[in-house]
Structure 1
Amino acid sequence: MSGDFKLEKNGNANGKIFNGLNGHQPDLDKKAFQENFEPTPLHAAILTYLGYAIITVFGFIRDLMRKYHIEKLHAATEDPEMKDFVPLYASFESFYTRNMYNRIQDVFNRPVCSVPGATIDIVERKFSNSGWTSEYTGKVLKNVINLGSYNYLGFAENEGTCTEAAIVTAKKYGAGVCSSRQEIGNQDIHMKLEQTMADYLDVEACIIFGMGYATNSTNIPCLVDKSCLILSDGLNHASLVLGCRLSGATIRVFKHNDMEDLERKLSDGVVYGQPRTHRPWKKILIIVEGVYSMEGSIVNLPGVLALKKKYKAYLYLDEAHSIGALGDHGRGVTEYFGIHASEVDIMMGTFTKSFGAAGGYIAGNRALVEHLRAHSHSACYATSMSPPVCQQILTSLSIISGTEEGRNRIKQLAKNSKTFRQGLKKIGYIVYGNDDSPVVPTMIYLPCKIGAYGREMLQRGFAVVVVGFPATPIVESRVRFCMSAALTDEQIEKALKAAEDVARVLKLDYSADKSLSC
């Protein structure tokens, strides 16, 4: 059924929100595509491969010791009765988890016992058995500066306008709906949020979901099937990848933000059609993100739209990290480039970042939304979004779109992002991504430095997220800073000073354009 569904062009292009933007051509030389992707230094690459080689050798030795019960195995294993069948864990990822992941990334999963604002309280956790087991010491680290969460506009608060409105809503509706939208879980506040979001984006309709991840993974299969072709950016989020696989469509991956590679695959798709039969594809769907959460890069939206129109394809845009964070009014990457939202066939986004809430949405023309409302598993079977969460989104959205406070938050986020990114570059870090992106990935490379970086920053009073394989390529481990409008100039300055100290300790001044002398 999904393969027969036709996406109609949204005619709602009256420009009531985008007045002054329609027809505006962004300065592409300054806007995007001049992203920072400095090549990995040769010595760092050699040491990284050497480090993983040593860890791998010792991993095999330890696996052998575990086999003969010389060392205790803490990983999950199959029942003895199943040992002659296919093992539950039989991949390199399992080997990596047993012998590397829990050791080099031992700063994960430290419980936070406060609102995830500019500062957080973290429960101290002591790890043992090479990271497999842990215990809580009872000590709480107070007022740790938060450089890792997606609280882009600072709405993750436990006081203020949003919180007060959410409390009132909780008293009226309760905390949970206890039913799906298709049964008795469709409340007036859900419909109000959908209409408000559609008006904000200036599209015909919108549908909301209780989980951002499921917004992608359960809705893409409603739009394409085995007779369709998906062209997916090589750095798309796991939720998009899962949704593509569940759809049964043929998936071809193009190089990240590479318009030449995308056009080559579009051309092949049009010329050669489906495998074996060579019949034309029923639909060709291009899937990209606005801001890429692990690279900090911004999609080449004008280039993608030009190719979409040329080859009569459809475009699915994931604005999870760009809605609220980009554009003068926070309307995402479309506003950032001066492009009306009606140019994009499927507008997807989440409320878990800039709005300080939970859930996701898909917006576009009314035919699209009504199709999803009838066929999406998330719409039919998942429990409705909690009313206080709806109110949190509505209140934050009203602040973003119509008040001086909202504009100031957007400006502060942009200022913090640029200041922090430029400060890291001056220190000598290799920093990836676009200068306007609130996601600031900084390269670590060596596996032994992943956990060490997180610990060193925590000792200096900063909570950061360190990331390694399999979330990144095996030689591109990094720390991913996420900026927030809630961070003050003083906190940004302190964070840069701490980052400089840690760079000296761990020798992280990899950049060829560095000014730091270790």
Structure 2
Amino acid sequence: MIDHNKPLCRKLIVVEGIYSNYGDLAPLDRIWAVKDKYKYRLMVDESHAFGVLGATGRGACEHFNLKPGQVEIIAASMSHAMGSVGGFCVGDQTTVEHQRLSGSGYCFSASLPPYLAAAGIHMLRGMRPGGPLVEALGRLHGRVRAFRGELLKGVPGLKLYGGSVPSPVLHLHLARPSGSEAADGAVLRRLADHMLSYGGVLVGVSQYSALEARRPPPSLVMYVHLGLGDRELAVAAAALRRAAKEVLKQ
């Protein structure tokens, strides 16, 4: 029987599998232990990890060996690895029914066009055991390790955040920041412009909303994906070191 006098447990831990602002991973094994101990609920946003982490690309939960039933809500954008638009949210039947009735697709008839839904389904089929995505993930993970290892050898005037974590999102911070967010951002933009002009390598510079209470320091943002082969990654590393020497005078 349900004890209606017992207070409802509405405490929810909400984390991202891969944090885009830093490129690091949420330690889901330790977070789940806390969640289980105190009987909280856990929601994981897998937008940057789905199709990237885990043996079959199911995200950070798979990377940390968490079963679907151990996480109450898993959500992700379909505009990253899935090459579509929109997003999805999975959980138990009650959660799914709530999302189905409250989601934009039901309320405003804003469902995916059929061809974009088909693109997402095709990608999911590739995640089955023996599917093409599973084989490709091994190559992606190898390239992430190789490129991170190359950057860990040192880039003059810059430092790689996160070390050897298996995230394909890489942030490079100034080794000696000035203390001024605007000045450091301007230096990094000059560095990015140099890489594009002289090396043909396009990188981003982090931008954050002024409303964020705790903004990370400015950084160069680089992403490793399957479209980049060993040659392209070597060119990117060389262009980065050359730009650092020219712009930072290291």
TM-score norm. by structure 2 comes to 0.85
SS of match in other structure, 1:296: coil
Per-residue deviation, 1:455: 0.9
2:186 maps to which residue?
A: 448
Per-residue deviation, 1:403: 3.8
**What per-residue deviation string (whole Å, max 9, x for no partner) do you get for residues 174-214 of structure 1?**
xxxxxxxxxxxxxxxxxxxxxxxxxxxxxxxxxxxxxxxxx
Alpha-carbon distance in 2 for matches of 1:370, 1:480: 38
Q: Give percent identity, aligned residues only.
A: 27
Structure ranking higher on relative contact order (CA contacts 8 Å, 6+ apart): 1
Alpha-carbon distance in 1 for matches of 2:97, 2:111: 17
**What per-residue deviation string (whole Å, max 9, x for no partner) do you get for residues 49-89 of structure 1?**
xxxxxxxxxxxxxxxxxxxxxxxxxxxxxxxxxxxxxxxxx
Unaligned runs of 5+ in 2: 1-5, 178-183
2:159 maps to which residue?
A: 430
Contact 1:468 1:474 in 2 (8 A): no
Does 2:220 correspond to 1:479? yes
**What per-residue deviation string (whole Å, max 9, x for no partner) do you get for residues 33-64 of structure 1?**
xxxxxxxxxxxxxxxxxxxxxxxxxxxxxxxx
1:268-347 to structure 2, matched below 5 A, reads 282-347=9-74
1:498 maps to which residue?
A: 239
- Give 1:365's aligned amino acid: D
Contact 1:450 1:468 in 2 (8 A): no
Identify if the C-alpha distance between structure 1 residues 352 and 285 changes in structure 2 by more than 3 Å, giving closer, same or farther: same
SS of match in other structure, 2:42: strand
Identify if the C-alpha distance between structure 1 residues 475 and 383 changes in structure 2 by more than 3 Å, giving closer, same or farther: closer
Alpha-carbon distance in 2 for matches of 1:329, 1:339: 13
- Give 1:395's aligned amino acid: H
Alpha-carbon distance in 2 for matches of 1:396, 1:297: 25
Identify if the C-alpha distance between structure 1 residues 449 and 298 changes in structure 2 by more than 3 Å, giving closer, same or farther: same
**What per-residue deviation string (whole Å, max 9, x for no partner) do you get for residues 335-363 of structure 1?**
11111111000011121111122111000
Unaligned runs of 5+ in 1: 1-278, 509-517
Does 2:201 correspond to 1:462? yes
Contact 2:56 2:127 in 1 (8 A): yes
Per-residue deviation, 1:410: 0.6
2:181 maps to which residue?
A: none
- Give 2:217's aligned amino acid: E
Identify if the C-alpha distance between structure 1 residues 395 and 376 changes in structure 2 by more than 3 Å, giving closer, same or farther: closer
Alpha-carbon distance in 1 for matches of 2:229, 2:127: 19
1:359-370 to structure 2, matched below 5 A, reads 359-370=86-97
Identify if the C-alpha distance between structure 1 residues 469 and 361 changes in structure 2 by more than 3 Å, giving closer, same or farther: closer
Alpha-carbon distance in 2 for matches of 1:421, 1:337: 21
What is the root-mean-square deviation of aligned Cα atoms in Å? 2.3
2:3 maps to which residue?
A: none
Alpha-carbon distance in 2 for matches of 1:333, 1:447: 30
Identify if the C-alpha distance between structure 1 residues 451 and 382 changes in structure 2 by more than 3 Å, giving closer, same or farther: farther
Per-residue deviation, 1:492: 0.7
Based on CA coordinates, which of the two structures has the bigger radius of gyration?
1
- Give 2:187's aligned amino acid: K
- Give 2:203's aligned amino acid: V
1:383 maps to which residue?
A: 110
Does 2:216 correspond to 1:489? no
Contact 2:161 2:172 in 1 (8 A): yes
